[in-house]
Chains A and B, each alone.
Chain A
Amino acid sequence: DTAVSQTPKYLVTQMGNDKSIKCEQNLGHDTMYWYKQDSKKFLKIMFSYNNKELIINETVPNRFSPKSPDKAHLNLHINSLELGDSAVYFCASSARTRGRDTQYFGPGTRLTVL
């Protein structure tokens, strides 16, 4: 009954490969997000998406693309992986209720690019 789940938990791959990270939420939220946590523990938004709008952080390379098959899923696809992509990627979801908007996070996916 996990609220926000991600797979895989760990991902080790070679430079140049293409990989995907899956995210699912069972909270009925209308908006999902991807965040990147770098080696210095700094967290930064990558994307936010609901069924109407995709907002992309301008610093995110176009090798990264979110794909949403339905409202409960927002997968992250990465092309041509680079060493600098190594990080922990967190998915989150939220819904605006009575003026409040609280994000709930997944467990994270630790990506290591060799």
Chain B
Amino acid sequence: AQRVTQPEKLLSVFKGAPVELKCNYSYSGSPELFWYVQYSRQRLQLLLRHISRESIKGFTADLNKGETSFHLKKPFAQEEDSAMYYCALTGSARQLTFGSGTQLTVLP
């Protein structure tokens, strides 16, 4: 069975502070891992995926297979980063399994 765990339901940081949203996964094969973001009452948008090893809006995430983690990081948070963030993985069935989400609030 595949599972994604986001231990923090709520996370608040001040503008300009570093932020890290934690994600751990459980999957027996080689999963594809993603971070999706959902701004207030909007659709889910892909933020980044581990295969691309890219940085989007200043966010990065590194896949650590030893720790089965895919934490999302940004060195300097901005107010517009406030949103719900979902970590997700796909396995062989191509269906996304989501974590429970972390609501990030960046305070002025």
Binding site for B on A (CB under 8 A): 31, 33, 35, 40-45, 48, 55, 57, 90, 92, 94, 96, 99-108
Contacts and interface: CB of A to CB of B under 8 A. Distances in A.
Contact of A100 (B32, B84, B96): B32
Nearest to A99: B51
B84 A41 contact: yes
Instruction: State the majority secondary structure of interface residues on B.
Output: strand
A107 B42 contact: yes
6 tightest CB-CB pairs across the interface, nearest first? A43-B98, A105-B44, A45-B95, A107-B43, A105-B43, A48-B95
Contacts of A41: 84, 100-101, 103
Given A43-B86, A104-B46, A105-B44, A33 B100 contact: no
Contacts of A102: 34, 46, 49
Given A41-B84, A42-B100, A106-B43, A101 B90 contact: yes
Contacts of B34: 102
Nearest to A105: B44
A101 B94 contact: yes
B101 A96 contact: no
B68 interface: no
